[in-house]
C-alpha cells in the first residue's frame, strides 16, 4: 500500500510536468499545472511526515506559500487578460 501511494504521487508529479511542458502557450493551463504539482508535493509531504510521525507544522507553512503563489499567479493572469485580451504568451512582446 505504501509503494502504491508513492507511485501515485510520482505519477501525479510527472503528469503535471508533462502537461506543463507541452501546453506552454496558455498562462491559465501553466498555472493550473503548477498548482497540480504543488498538490502532489503536498501529498508527498503529508505521506512522508505521517509515516515517520513528525509534526505537521511544515505542511501549514507549505500550504501558506502555495496559496500565496496561487494568488500571485491569478493576479498576473487577470492583469494580462485586462491589458492584452487573452492569455496567450505569443500575443505580447517580452522584450
CB 90 within 8 A of CB 83: no
Grade residue 90 by pLDDT with cuts at 50, 70 and 90: confident
Q: What is the pTM of this model?
A: 0.85
Q: Which residue stretches of 1-95 are H helix?
A: 2-22, 27-51, 57-84
To which H or E segment does residue 94 belong?
none
Residue 13: all three cell numbers together: 508529479
Q: What domains sit in the chain, N to C, each tagged with a CATH number?
A: 2-87 (1.10.287.3510)
Average pLDDT over residues 62-72: 94
Position 89 pLDDT exceeds 60: yes
Tell me the pLDDT tens digit for each residue of 24-52: 888 889 999 999 999 999 999 999 998 88
How much is the pLDDT for 87? Answer: 82
Query: What does each C-alpha distance from 46 to 9, 39, 60, 86 come to in angstroms?
Result: 11, 10, 10, 37
| DSSP state, residue 90 | G
How much is the pLDDT for 74? Answer: 92
Amino acid at each position: 500500500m505504501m509503494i502504491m501511494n508513492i507511485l501515485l504521487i510520482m505519477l501525479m508529479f510527472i503528469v503535471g510536468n508533462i502537461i506543463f511542458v507541452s501546453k506552454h502557450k496558455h498562462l491559465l493551463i501553466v498555472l493550473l499545472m503548477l498548482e497540480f504539482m504543488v498538490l502532489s508535493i503536498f501529498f508527498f509531504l503529508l505521506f512522508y511526515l505521517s509515516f515517520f510521525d513528525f509534526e505537521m507544522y511544515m505542511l501549514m507553512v507549505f500550504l501558506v506559500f502555495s496559496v500565496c503563489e496561487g494568488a500571485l499567479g491569478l493576479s498576473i493572469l487577470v492583469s494580462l487578460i485586462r491589458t492584452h485580451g487573452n492569455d496567450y504568451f505569443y500575443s505580447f512582446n517580452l522584450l
